Structure 1
């Protein structure tokens, strides 16, 4: 009898780096004027891995990254994972106390710092239990060297300088399939952040799925949202497919449009509020965007009216993706189904991706029929392994292989999934419940409204008041009473906002979602 053995596990980092070796002369990372080739990037990853290994980084240890969108950020994450350690990538714009919770929560062994974020690193070091190593990714710009000095010396070493002394021969992976690859926290905008645990096996499957859904040949991907969020995974998919990743350190719609034309960008991911900023920029109509093949949007509800506008301006390149870190990719509405004259379809999140089961369940956990609203529950090979040090919450969210997403939605007879609201965002009013997404959709159809965010603020008697923050079109003269009347006549008195506030721009989280926690707090202070 011929014996068989399980195939040797291949770390996703090994697969990506070995693939890059086949095209050593290609520029794979672009950041401003910098262009990094495949050979240079592979060499950097291996040298960083050796420098980190000398400082005790390895399986079972947590490395926290406080890093923006730099080539070195991707390289150091790969180095950490190549050693079999796991990473925790902080969202840069969160409050220091929230970041400190995340950093302490995962028992950080080493903190790796982007020099531009040295001030925040110094605050964090003073707010968390001592960490074994603080390492800085090179020299800061001249005007920032004083900030770096605050954590260098006894606290911080220049990791890039340490890596330069190391050989750049390949480093063998120390990771096993069931080892922890990363802990990804919720954004901290709805309470204590939760750490989502993911193994190397799940990460490897996720990279393959991302490459399938959001990739393609000769891809040139513009990353202008944080690598600490979904954009980091999409960058992995791009690199694994032999593509190029163009990095923007911050979001600016004018720069986005200029880069699309200059770098012949084929793919970009934008959360809806950021997509609207690009659409509204005066350069949008005169920029050459013909290279675009796919604009992926998602992460927060979108306006069918504005998505239709984007299709008419940019062509059939819009693709919506719905998912969660806990559940993985759930559904996709492809470009072919983005008909600007079908708002009913644009309002959906598409159909479940192959291999993913979706059920809509009531409060008792029973499956509901089509067109009934309930909690979206998901089962697939890509669901998470549980929350970090929180078995109670894990048992609540992950039941018999099904992730209970906390999102409300429905499935229709054609299999389209509509995401109605977050359960926690649904507003309890006298006489029933108001779905914030539905009200935002309706407000956004008003000709004077460009964007809106709807949220509830607790009032007396236990019910909530409906608040709407609205961004108007330039030169609009609409009043709060006009919009309340519009809603009352179009959606009924129950949906009429109690308060309408006008603002030049909605506050956004680090990932680009409307920051409703901040809006609620500001509204509560005003009232």
Structure 2
């Protein structure tokens, strides 16, 4: 028994359904036989370039079949795959490459202009491989070697945290961790991916890569969107008969707000997975009403847990008592709520959400102290505040760092945002703490209005006062035309806070 390996489902698909369409990238389609052959040949090329088992191979590419070649080719060669954020600057990319000690970088031609800066700032980078005609010639001429099998607790991937609150950290995920979560999702009944998954979220994001692996386990077809565009997504769903897709809340809102939403046939869609950022209740209610045939699946988790800690399945979305929760822990994870001394709190009480199990990271690359702090007592400390009900459903209240303490009272930004999102003129909102000489912090709301609608700060504050206690209501409102978003679609609150001094 060799233990779990990410390449196992590729072996299985190539053996059992070799002629089934595996990937659709624009007008190009490839079968599992073709994908497996290309991955072996990519591994041969990497080996010829000096890659040995355990080396870190970085990937800089948008969603597409080349990403699949690079990912499985690296793993086939026994390397550790390190996909980097395609929205980072050259300096941010170079920092990540230097931090993880990447030996080789595989680059999509669209990022050619960044290479000079990356190489200057990451001097340890030995080789750069540019996808394109020359690389294709090398692949065509290569043999198909046996796999340098790595499995179980061997390191498979380093995924980088968003870096929105400081330097990005490299999260070490083993073959066992990634496959444990993929198996949980693939076996999750009505929440399991089906026949065809559209990959809209970037594949360097843990939610996207874990969904890809789960769909691969079921033999599903993969359709790639290199970047998110609401109308293009709807057209692809209709044209490719997509059954499953992952949308962060900002993406889901863009689809629902699109003026041509009702013109596309979306009846093939069976499941929409969402996560990565809090879902405003009003948006969730609207989505359920607009797409009654779709089963919604919420995944609550983080990079450090190789996917979701918990899932809120389609059936749970039909239960008002459970709809506002984040669901129950997946099979590979045990979750609990603890106090400041890491003691489990009684059912219903608020504390920090912690998790342990097969899907939890090995640690942060080259950060032993931060690893020890995050995994103290054997539990991954999420930094999220929440509670658990008597049926085991987790209710996320806020991020610890996003909690605002004003006049000695705790204000959870997610609660305030949920109220503001119900205002008829509000399209997007974010709530942060702003320094205040009297109260320590005050509640500050950043708001994007719906197109063509106008409202005043006083109106929004008055609306919040009709629902919330006065100390929770915004004391200041800032209007913007757009929010700063991470590549995963999260509102980057660190940028909002950076606009005013401590």
Whether contact under 8 Å (2:248, 2:277) holds in the other structure is: yes
Query: Cα gap change, 1:464/1:118 in structure 2, threshold over 3 Å: closer, same or farther?
Result: farther
Q: Is the CA contact 2:2–2:151 (under 8 Å) kept in the aligned structure 1?
A: no
- CA apart distance, 1:58: 2.1
Q: For residues 125-177 of structure 1, what are the alpha-carbon distances to aligned partners after superposition, in whole Å with 9 as ceiling and x for unaligned?
A: 121223111111115xxxxxxxxxxxxxxxxxx4333212112x352233143
The C-alpha deviation readout for 1:168-217, integer Å capped at 9, x for no partner, is: x3522331433211111111001121211112222332332232248757
**Poorly superposed stretches of 4+, deviation over 6 Å:** none
Report 1:78-477 matches (<5 A): 78-139=72-133, 158-167=134-143, 169=144, 171-213=146-188, 216=192, 219-229=195-205, 230-315=207-292, 316-328=294-306, 329-339=308-318, 342=320, 345-460=322-437, 463-477=440-454
Could you report, residue by residue, the CA deviation over 1:390-440 in whole angstroms, capped at 9, with x for unpaired residues?
A: 111111111232111111101122322111111111122223222111111
Distance 1:51 1:94, change over 3 A: same
- Asked if the contact 2:97/2:125 (under 8 Å) is kept, the reply is no
Deviations for 1:41-66, whole angstroms, at most 9, x for unmatched residues? 11111110100011121222111111
CA contact (8 A) 2:295 2:314 kept: yes
Q: Take 1:179 and 1:10, find their aligned partners in 2: how far apart are those partners?
A: 10
**Structure 2 CA distance for aligned equivalents of residues 8 and 186 of structure 1:** 30
Given that 2:59 and 2:105 are in contact with CA atoms closer than 8 Å, whether structure 1 keeps it comes out as: yes
Q: Which runs of 5+ in 2 are unaligned?
A: none
> In the alignment, what sits opposite 1:44?
38
Give the CA deviation at 1:21: 3.1
Tell me whether 246-255 or 416-425 shows the greater mean CA deviation.
416-425
Distance in 1 separating the partners of 2:2 and 2:312: 36
C-alpha distance in 2, partners of 1:283/1:84? 46
Q: Identify the match of residue 507 of structure 1 among 476, 484, 491.
A: 484
Question: Greater CA deviation, 254-263 or 396-405?
Answer: 396-405
Counterpart of 2:466 in 1: which secondary structure? helix
Unaligned runs of 5+ in 1: 1-6, 140-157
Q: Secondary structure at the match of 2:467?
A: helix
Q: Is the 8 A contact 1:431 1:494 kept in 2?
A: no
The CA deviation at 1:246 is 0.5
| TM-score (structure 1 length as normaliser) | 0.90
Change (3 A) 1:125 1:208: same
Q: Offset at 1:11?
A: 2.8
Deviations 1:320-340 (A, max 9, x none): 11112223421111111213x
Taking a change above 3 Å as real, the CA distance of residues 447 and 183 of structure 1, as seen in their structure-2 partners, is same
Cα deviation for residue 459 of structure 1 reads: 4.3
Contact 1:218 1:243 in 2 (8 A): yes
**Count of residues in Structure 1 that have an aligned counterpart in Structure 2:** 498
Q: Name the counterpart of 1:143.
A: none
Deviation per CA, 1:257-289, whole angstroms, max 9, x where unpaired?
111111111000011111111111112223211
For the 8 Å contact 1:84–1:176, the answer to whether it is kept is no
Match of 1:29 in 2: 23
Q: Structure 1 residues 277, 511: closer, same or farther in 2, change over 3 A?
A: same
Answer yes or no: is the 8 Å Cα contact 2:417–2:431 preserved in 1. yes
TM-score (norm 2): 0.94
The whole-number CA distance in structure 2 between the counterparts of 1:352 and 1:207 is 14
The alignment's C-alpha RMSD in Å is 2.0
**Matched residues in 1 for 2:123 and 2:93: separation?**
13
Question: Hey, what does 1:71 align to over in structure 2?
Answer: 65
**SS at 1:251's partner residue?**
coil
Match of 2:500 in 1: 524
SS at match of 1:326: helix
CA distance in structure 2 between the aligned counterparts of 1:451 and 1:374, rounded to whole angstroms: 28
Deviation for aligned residue 1:89: 1.0
Counterpart of 2:14 in structure 1 is: 20
Answer yes or no: is the 8 Å Cα contact 1:358–1:379 preserved in 2: yes
- Report the Cα distance in structure 1 between the residues aligned to 2:304 and 2:194, rounded to whole angstroms: 30
Q: Give the CA deviation at 1:218.
A: 5.1
How many Å separate the matches in 1 of 2:203 and 2:151?
Answer: 24
